[in-house]
Amino acid sequence: MQMYIAGRWVDKSQKIDVVNPYDGSVIDTVPKGDKQDVDAAIASAVRGATVMAKMPGYDRFLILRKAADLMNERLEEFGRTITLEEGKVIAEGRFEASRGVQTLLTSAEEAKRIHGETIPFDGAPGGAGRFGFTMRVPCGVVAAISPFNFPLNLVCHKVGPAIAAGNAVIIKPATDTPLSALKLTALLLEAGLPPEAIQCVTGAGSEIGDALCSDSRVRKITFTGSRDVGEHICHVAGLKKVTMELGSNAPVIVMPDADLNKAADAVAATGYSNAGQTCISAQRILTNNKIYGDFLDALRPKVEVMTTGNPLDEKVKMGPMIREKDAVRVGEWVEEAVRSGARLVTGGERHGTFYQPTVVADVKPEMRISCDELFGPAVAVTRFDDIDQAIALANDTIYGLSAAIFTQNLDWAMKFAREVYSGNLMINWGPQWRADLMPYGGVKDSGMGKEGPRYAVEEMTELKLVCFNLGN
Ligand code: NAP
């Protein structure tokens, strides 16, 4: 495919192969964009932002709703593209595409609800005779940088609210998975988005990222990706708004009164989908001593039945990891834990890009499989004695994106909700659950700012204050 800059599809002699992680075959190529391409995209987006700022909310609603309708008609095509470039099983590819429809639709609805409020100036000393209100205006040019693991829906979460809020947007998709974003760009143009309101620049983030993020014509960066790249972007961004959706090592607390079957189902469902390559994947399973063995007995068979293979095969439950080096890294961390006294309950084998669904027990918090973001198909099970210890372990991390507890005890559930420092807190389901309309984002090194169209629109607008001096 080609990239889209300044109102036209652009090719380059230098290409990047887009590779199917399942078998290494080249499924397409994209142009290798450079700094000049970024400059052209920003210059065009500045013009696009002027057009968008004048576009009525109802027109922005119509464009996004039409885009949602078009995507809904092409769910199978989008789902297949996601699976081919990213490697998640086809059911998950289709599900991501259907979530993309919801994200665009919710963004469309938000385009009609952008407003300020009146301010009671006369409640302040010296405020008598003043009347005023706030209004939200678009930021202008939004840079949207996305990760490989949800190549469509996470781009929708940036582009949908940016358009709803009346901005122009420049997409920089992950180099491993650029096709879904390019197809989304074409779809938005088909839905009636003005040509310069969207740009999609393909190319290595390490080469073109600084040119995009440091440019003062870009007024807002919305980034989803790893902690370290996010921190780097914050350094180069300078004085502009940023939203950072970063990594995590999500804890799950299993209390002694938990429904163990349900907890095991949830860990199996939320620890291994997309081969564990989800920012809110269940990673650290903190299990009460009294039910430790019973929980492992309940979990093990649910993990062992997960078949791996070609993600386009409907029977396959887990696909490959994005790159072989990531599967190698997961293997190294598991082996390192086992060498330091942890116990392999099931899994632990690698074949190319595939890493077998794995459970490691007796994990110590300082082991890398627990304290770093694993981002792979393994969970680390650790013992605890009481709720205070469980909460201390859950909080013993630089991250804070999502956390879960399994219990029937309301006091424990509320204590967990109050004391675990995390953006999302799930009670009686795993940490990997998201409705696309909800406020979503982390604390600590998991990032700042919120996604979810209503909340992202706030992040992608500026609040202005208008004050009339009416006299007496
Ligand atoms: P990544 O390596 O940080 O890459 C993310 C994006 O940043 C890619 O488009 C990448 O481009 C780009 N990039 C790289 N260097 C850059 C630079 N110097 N300036 C600007 N952009 C740059 O992350 P990933 O491996 O794709 O995704 C996995 C990570 O994302 C995990 O840590 C995961 O937890 C996190 N994540 C978080 C959420 C959330 O909502 N909190 C959701 C999904 C994923 P290239 O591909 O060209 O390198």
How do the domains of the chain map onto residue ranges?
3-246+442-468, 251-427
* CATH for the 3-246+442-468 domain, from 3.20.20.70, 3.40.50.2300, 3.30.460.20, 3.40.605.10: 3.40.605.10
**Measured in angstroms, how far is the CA atom of residue 35 from the centroid of ligand 1?**
19
Rounded Cα–Cα distance for residues 74 and 362 (Å): 46
* CATH for the 251-427 domain, from 3.40.50.2300, 3.90.550.10, 3.10.50.30, 3.40.309.10: 3.40.309.10
- CB of 401 within 6 A of ligand 1: the answer is yes
- CB of 407 within 6 A of ligand 1: the answer is no
- CB of 276 within 6 A of ligand 1: the answer is no
**Measured in angstroms, how far is the CA atom of residue 274 from the centroid of ligand 1?**
16
**Measured in angstroms, how far is the CA atom of residue 470 from the centroid of ligand 1?**
51
- CB of 146 within 6 A of ligand 1: the answer is yes
CB atoms within 10 A of CB 329: 18
Rounded Cα–Cα distance for residues 388 and 28 (Å): 52
Written as tens digits, the pLDDT of the chain (472 aa) is: 999 999 999 999 999 999 999 999 999 999 999 999 999 999 999 999 999 999 999 999 999 999 999 999 999 999 999 999 999 999 999 999 999 999 999 999 999 999 999 999 999 999 999 999 999 999 999 999 999 999 999 999 999 999 999 999 999 999 999 999 999 999 999 999 999 999 999 999 999 999 999 999 999 999 999 999 999 999 999 999 999 999 999 999 999 999 999 999 999 999 999 999 999 999 999 999 999 999 999 999 999 999 999 999 999 999 999 999 999 999 999 999 999 999 999 999 999 999 999 999 999 999 999 999 999 999 999 999 999 999 999 999 999 999 999 999 999 999 999 999 999 999 999 999 999 999 999 999 999 999 999 999 999 999 999 999 998 7
Q: What is the pLDDT of residue 472?
A: 74
Rounded Cα–Cα distance for residues 409 and 305 (Å): 31
Rounded Cα–Cα distance for residues 147 and 396 (Å): 26
Three-state secondary structure call for residue 40: helix
CB atoms within 10 A of CB 125: 6
Nearest alpha carbon, ligand 1 atom 11: 205
3-state SS, 110-139, equals HCCCCCCCEECHHHCCCCCCEEEEEEEEEC
**Measured in angstroms, how far is the CA atom of residue 284 from the centroid of ligand 1?**
22
Q: Which of 16, 85, 145 to mutate to test the pocket of ligand 1 (most atoms within 8 A of CB)?
A: 145
What positions carry a catalytic annotation?
Answer: 245, 279
pTM tops 0.85 = yes
